């Protein structure tokens, strides 16, 4: 299976959102990655349901919504209503993770679990066969443009081992500091989805950057 590229819209120019959406639609990208931050779970506020509804209106690709928020269970139905196809919650934000995952899947979405850089990947073990995606944060969540955490490779190897031992089928997504320099190594270590924000939208030619990431 070819790896997927999910440009993070957090890094786009919101003053020209429609043209940025069109750019992704016409590119080799597979998903729109949408980071929702509440200013509590992470020290930043990004965007929410109205913006995602607007993106959904014009998007021709799947919406991959990453909730960096407290109490995500309260909003599952709302994100489904505005077009989310993949909904990822943080392990650290869910008191009853299995219940949250079941609710996401019951609403007809793919269910993902994100792990902060210093959260042990073994926490995924008991739900390995219940989830569709694991998002490894390779920076501390909250802000774009951060430096990639090198220990991510070791965690990726450990997660691939869990996937193999449990005969699970979840995709592994890497989010934070991803570019062409580390992207190939991440794929070689077992990553299925690369989230790229600043490296795409801060480049002189975002379409070409996405194409290069896709060819890795």
Encode pLDDT of 150-206 as tens digits. Answer: 999 999 999 999 999 999 999 999 999 999 999 999 999 999 999 999 999 999 999
C-alpha span between 88 and 71 (Å, rounded): 13
Q: What is the mean pLDDT of residues 1-10?
A: 94
Tokens 């060819």 found at: 215
pLDDT band at 1 (very low <50, low <70, confident <90, very high): low
Of 30, 64, 132, 175, catalytic: 175
Partners of 193 in the beta sheet?
4, 173
Is 179 marked active-site? no
Tokens 């990553």 found at: 191
Taking the domains of the chain in order of start, what are their residue ranges? 4-215
- pLDDT tens profile 57-104: 999 999 999 999 999 999 999 999 999 999 999 999 999 999 999 999
- pLDDT tens profile 16-32: 999 999 999 999 999 99
Is 73 marked active-site? no
Cα separations in angstroms, 212 against 8, 48, 102, 152: 16, 30, 36, 22
Name the residue among 22, 81, 19, 71 with its Cα closest to residue 50: 81
Of 22, 30, 35, 132, catalytic: 35
Cα distance between the two ends of the chain: 13
pLDDT the model gives residue 125:
95
Q: What pTM did the predictor assign?
A: 0.97
The fold of the 4-215 domain, in CATH, is TIM Barrel (3.20.20)
Name the residue among 74, 131, 121, 69 with its Cα closest to residue 101: 131
């Amino acid at each position: 299976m070819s790896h997927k590229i999910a440009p993070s819209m957090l890094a786009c120019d919101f003053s020209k959102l429609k043209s940025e959406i069109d750019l992704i639609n016409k590119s080799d990208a597979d998903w729109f990655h949408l980071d929702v931050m509440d200013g509590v779970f992470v020290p930043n506020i990004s965007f929410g349901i109205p913006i995602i509804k607007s993106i959904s209106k014009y998007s021709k690709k799947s919406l991959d919504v990453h909730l960096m928020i407290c109490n995500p269970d309260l909003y599952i139905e709302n994100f489904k209503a505005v077009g989310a196809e993949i909904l990822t919650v943080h392990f650290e934000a869910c008191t009853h993770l299995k219940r949250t995952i079941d609710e996401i899947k019951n609403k007809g979405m793919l269910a993902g679990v994100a792990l902060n850089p210093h959260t042990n990947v073994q926490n995924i073990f008991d739900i390995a066969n219940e989830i569709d995606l694991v998002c490894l944060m390779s920076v501390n969540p909250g802000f774009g443009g951060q430096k990639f955490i090198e220990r991510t490779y070791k965690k990726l190897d450990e997660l691939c081992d869990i996937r193999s031992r449990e005969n699970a089928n979840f995709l592994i997504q890497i989010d934070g500091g991803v570019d062409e320099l580390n992207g190939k190594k991440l794929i070689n270590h077992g990553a299925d989805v690369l989230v790229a924000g600043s490296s795409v939208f801060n480049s002189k030619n975002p379409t070409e950057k996405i194409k290069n990431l896709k060819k890795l």
